[in-house]
Structure 1
Amino acid sequence: MAFEQLSSDFYGFENTLTEVEKDHIMKLRAYLESEVKPIVNDYWNRGEFPTEIVKGLAAHGATGLSWEETRPFYNSAVFRGWMAIELGRIDASVCTYIGVQNGLAMGSIATCGSAEQRVEWLPRMNSGEIVGAFGLTEPLSGSDSAQGLRTTAKRDGDTWILNGSKRWIGNATFSDITVIWAKDVEDGQVKGFIVPADTPGYTATRIENKISLRIVQNADITLENVVIPHSLKLENANSFRDTAKVLRQTRAEVAWGAVATSIGAYEAAVKYTSERVQFGKTIDSHQLVQDLLAKSLGNITASLAMCMRVSQMLDDGIQKDEHSALAKSFTTSRMRETVAWCREVLGGNGIVVDYDVARFFADAEALYSYEGTREMNTLIVGRAITGKAAFI
């Protein structure tokens, strides 16, 4: 399949990919354009997830991590970023689903699991047979998860007993397993556990009435004396530092997702302006419309450059928390501007989901907040600049 550079990739960053990577990108793009794009507005309006695409996404290479020897280029954070671009420019919720399945759930097992746990769970998650979720955020603990977790884990012989609650857990209404992070009552350290959804005492209830990422099935989770065997404790997840190893990788990919959301809105706006006629000509020939499109493309291009570099640093093993934090903070802020300008281009039609831009406009609000608010990420960067923590 011939490679076609995205028109929104104005400086041609995609051309740094290998031919093998480009081929996988194009195969995923073809699937998303033909099978996913036509249905997302309907599912967004209904607030439902199209579960029929789970195995299709897996079959077209949207899942898998660096542990998979058959696709060694998955070692590349840059390549995974471009996969996020393809997903997110179609729909931010679908991109988020993969981010949870791939980066958070599979990433926790790949990063913190034993060899046996990796062999048991990762291949089935990679194929789409098993859907995963990631339970860190709680009703009373979001930005302060490092110290503020209230969910507890107590060792009882060869088992662990989990009690507590989680909130905003993506995929959790239909996931087969959820990686639950809980504080060990014995040593006060945060530890990770693989919890099957059919475990007695585990309940996931869908969060209703969302205005953003309506396709994502977020849930409130309650854990009431949930008993799991010690074999389901992630062997190498023994403090929040281990949780942070997972988040360090996924936060950079959220930045890519923000750029993808900007690109989705921008591409829909460009298409609209080439078709909408006002004052006897298509509006893409109007000066002020071109100004909004040019500003949007500038935001996208600057954000792509930052994402490329921060992912290169991750590939080189030199990325630090502040690097991914700056990328997440910057790209989501520019995304907010961009989707607003694209909505403005469409005038009244910009608030109708039928034209796609309204969906990207609404979904941007969730990306702006999740995996670290702008304020928290700027404080991580501020600490790196000054050497002083100013979180409270």
Structure 2
Amino acid sequence: MILTLTANPSLDRTIELAGPVLRGQVQRAVWAGQQPGGKGVNVSRAVASAGRSTRAVLPGDAGDPVLSGLDAIGLAHDSVPTGAPIRSNITVTEPDGTTTKINEPGSCLSPETQTELLDLVAALATDADWVVLAGSLPPGVDDDFYARAIAVIRTLPQPPSIAVDTSGAPLAAALKQSPDLIKPNAEELAELLGAAGLLGETGADDVGLHDSRLADSARSDAEAVEGTFGHPDRGTATQLATGELHAIAARLEASPELTAQATRALLDSAAPGPRSILATLGAGGAVLAARDAAWHAVHPPMEVVSTVGAGDSTLAGYLLGRTEGEEPQIALARAVAYGTAAATLRGTGVPTPDLIDLGTVTVTPLSNTTPTPTTDQPKQHAGTAPEAEEA
């Protein structure tokens, strides 16, 4: 069973336009829809669509549209009442696949509600193979919430594996508990590299933007990550300006070899950190790195409709493969196939197994340049469109 915890779920509303967004003008939608969402919820939806056992844990009151939506699709879930409505997130998609998201912050969770959520997850985790801790944290929740969840789960006699998919300070805190897997996108990976002082070591900082760093007032959450990867030989922690963060992320997306080098640097850090990393690279596919191996997987291009939730489907595909006993590189192929299929669906769509074709995914070991097929797979190519992650 794959158990998910979503601390900040959402009702995902999607508006599809016939042309590009025109600021300050009235435009008519050609399609609109809504789905219960939030990163962990999306993972559970994808797992359930594959006919596998899953359960979603989230805060919310009975009768809330998100919980009613989960009831309507028959997704097993448990919730802790909050006395407040679950937030709405708005997505606008354009014909070329460009996705614009507006995410509400969410309602505050009281300390008592947080404790109830952690206790509920710990109770349900006894029957889980994997627990997924995913998404942003709502107001009133300390950055160490997912770290506390990991600590509680690890007290079980036979704790399940734990995957974390969040960013910034909550990810930094969770890393100190050494989760079994993290799933950063390219920007989140770049942020980790900067805060860990590893940009120079990996070569990821060669983007020619250092002179503009101080002129850019927008900063990442790097301060919160600083110290997580303590090592006397590491470089100085870097607070990446927005422009540099985007440039480094683009470089990572364009080079799976660079991404593998970056993930290995994080895995080899002396301080506590993740045991494996699944880095999603948008159009570049994904890189899976463990301490002893790394692979890159890519899928042929497909027409992109909406990239919202594609990363969540990628994580679901990987966990489905691993719970079914697949080797890591085969599970990686399944992950990329799931993420690609999700990007072809409207709204926060999750794919069903009939949309998945492992035979179109190429997996390459990053210790050499010779592509290694999965059980039924070939061709090298460009991959999916960049993902628009839930928050």
Q: How does the TM-score come out when normalised to structure 2?
A: 0.33
| Higher relative helix content | 1
Q: How does the TM-score come out when normalised to structure 1?
A: 0.33
Which has the larger Rg?
1
| Higher relative strand content | 2
